[in-house]
Amino acid sequence: EDQVTQSPEALRLQEGESSSLNCSYTVSGLRGLFWYRQDPGKGPEFLFTLYSAGEEKEKERLKATLTKKESFLHITAPKPEDSATYLCAVRAGNNRKLIWGLGTSLAVNP
Amino acid sequence: ETGVTQSPTHLIKTRGQQVTLRCSSQSGHNTVSWYQQALGQGPQFIFQYYREEENGRGNFPPRFSGLQFPNYSSELNVNALELDDSALYLCASSLGAGYGSAGELFFGEGSRLTVL
């Protein structure tokens, strides 16, 4: 069964303290891995799409990487405004739906 | 460029009632998908509409139904509401619905449904 697991469930950082979030997946025929950010009470906001192992994408303080089994979202020198839940999702095989992880809740203290 | 808008933002219903949620897709997007997100969970795929036809469905019972209109806006209808239907219902629009289409979904703010 296709599955996406994110860790840790929650992470608390000091402003400027870099860290990484993990998204591991077991799917048949990966057709894309997606990172989203979700603020409380709002819909997810698209961040990145990764399609093949070795691919990397960057946006401001965020950098996403992909291997054959997992993806990392690296946060460099985070700021309080980076506080949110970060969701990972995959599309596999011929399935139109996205399979989502439970997310990592990130809090960045000033 | 107009983003995805959903209405209502919050609503309260009782068990057994019916509800209709509405979504206007982002300008130029022809595909709408609906997700249910319970508190502390990731979104769960309900179904997707492409050019007014349902072309993908998750593990939800038939009492969850939908429509897409010629202007690509969409409705989600839920009949015979149950307590477990309480959740945030998210609408997402995208361009293209084929297997090769990108997964970049643009979400609305959601409709928070509480069933008492």
pLDDT digits (tens, 9 = 90+) for A37-47: 999 888 999 99
Q: Which residue of B has its CA nearest to A90?
A: B103
Kindly provide the residue ranges of all beta strands, DSSP E only, lying in A1-110, ordered along the sequence. Answer: 3-7, 10-14, 19-26, 30-38, 45-50, 56-59, 62-66, 70-75, 84-92, 99-100, 104-109
Cβ-based interface (< 8 Å): residues of A facing B = 4, 31-32, 34, 41-46, 49, 87, 89, 91, 94-98, 100-103
Q: Give B15's DSSP letter.
A: T
Query: Are the Cβ atoms of B43 and A49 closer than 8 angstroms?
Result: no
Q: How much is the CA Rg of chain A, to the nearest whole Å?
A: 13
Name the residue with higher pLDDT: B27 or B91.
B91
- A23 pLDDT band (50/70/90 cuts)? very high
Q: B84-116 burial, b for 16+ CB within 10 Å, e for fewer?
A: ebbbbbbbbbbeebeeebebbbbbbbbbbbebe
- At B45-93, the pLDDT tens digits run 999 998 889 988 989 999 999 999 998 899 999 999 999 999 999 999 9
Task: Name the phi and psi angles at B83, rounded to 5.
Answer: -55, -40
- At A68-109, the pLDDT tens digits run 999 999 999 999 999 999 999 998 876 667 889 999 999 999
Which amino acid is located at B19 in the chain?
V
Query: Are the Cβ atoms of B107 and A45 closer than 8 angstroms?
Result: yes
Facing residue for B41 by CB, picked from A42, A49, A102: A102
Percentage of chain B modeled with pLDDT above 70 = 91
- In this predicted structure, the answer to whether residue B102 has a pLDDT above a threshold of 70 is no
- In this predicted structure, the answer to whether residue B101 has a pLDDT above a threshold of 70 is no
Q: Do B77 and B89 meet the contact criterion of CB atoms below 8 Å apart?
A: no
| B102 vs A contacts (CB less than 8 Å) | 32, 49
Query: Are the Cβ atoms of B97 and A89 closer than 8 angstroms?
Result: no
- The pairing of beta strand B106-107 with beta strand A99-100: unpaired
**Tokens standing for residue A85:** 């839940």
